[in-house]
Amino acid sequence: QKEVEQDPGPLSVPEGAIVSLNCTYSNSAFQYFMWYRQYSRKGPELLMYTYSSGNKEDGRFTAQVDKSSKYISLFIRDSQPSDSATYLCAMTRLNSNSGYALNFGKGTSLLVTP
Amino acid sequence: DVKVTQSSRYLVKRTGEKVFLECVQDMDHENMFWYRQDPGLGLRLIYFSYDVKMKEKGDIPEGYSVSREKKERFSLILESASTNQTSMYLCASRSSQPQHFGDGTRLSIL
């Protein structure tokens, strides 16, 4: 079983829709959870970062973590064509200088149509 | 803002060549990482470094080596390039969480 599972899509929604992106994970040691957005031919750009269960909001974006279910979500409200990108979830075990790398989902491709 | 700069956006090399990919960060981060990203496989960790001259193997280190002589610079070396190393290579750095990425080098091996 992969440590992080993410539906690759593609997901196509009309402009203004609420988008829900999800990841599940198997390692209960994961403590830090991130969402990255990646436009074509660019590197991943950090969107949201959280280390606790519950919700974290930033503008149109809400990150949700449910550690008991090992499930994380990213919600995008009032989606815009500029939100069209691949969204990667990522998580890791420690917040230290030991160099622990991120475990990534494979990314969900999102297309927001005008 | 954190700036992670990869020296080349696109690179074309021939099989058997020794290839150097360079990455520089400007935030005095201790940790630096090299990933490759392939369709259907996602991001996979090649090597990381948690201090100058220190390195650790990631999930797929075969055919690669790294160098970290200065804190701000982390180099990925393909000792003898092969066609299966054609990929998008991403460098990242961090102090604590989270990681910040460069824009990647799209490497083609012919």
Task: Give the tens place of pLDDT for each residue, A63-77.
Answer: 999 999 999 999 999
Reported as a pLDDT band with limits 50, 70 and 90, residue B19 is: very high
- Dmax (CA) of chain A: 45
> Which chain A positions have a beta carbon within 8 Å of B90's beta carbon?
43-44
CB within 8 Å: B98 and A46 = yes
What's the N-to-C CA distance of chain B in angstroms?
37
| Token pair recorded at residue B51 | 């201090």
Average pLDDT over residues A35-51: 92
Q: What is the mean pLDDT of chain A?
A: 90
Which of B48, B97, B102 has its CB closest to that of A43? B102
Reported as a single tens digit per residue, the pLDDT across B78-98 is: 999 999 999 999 999 987 768
Q: Is the pLDDT of residue A97 over 60?
A: no
> Which chain B positions have a beta carbon within 8 Å of A36's beta carbon?
101
Q: What is the pLDDT of residue A43?
A: 93
Q: What is the pLDDT of residue B94?
A: 87
Per the model's pLDDT, the better-predicted residue between B75 and B40 turns out to be B75
> Which chain B positions have a beta carbon within 8 Å of A104's beta carbon?
42-43
3-state class (DSSP) for residue A9: coil
**B72 and chain A in contact, CB less than 8 A:** no
Per the model's pLDDT, the better-predicted residue between A99 and A89 turns out to be A89
Reported as a pLDDT band with limits 50, 70 and 90, residue B47 is: very high
Which of A34, A95, A106 has its CB closest to that of B42? A106
**Structural contact between residues A97 and A41, judged by C-beta atoms closer than 8 angstroms:** no
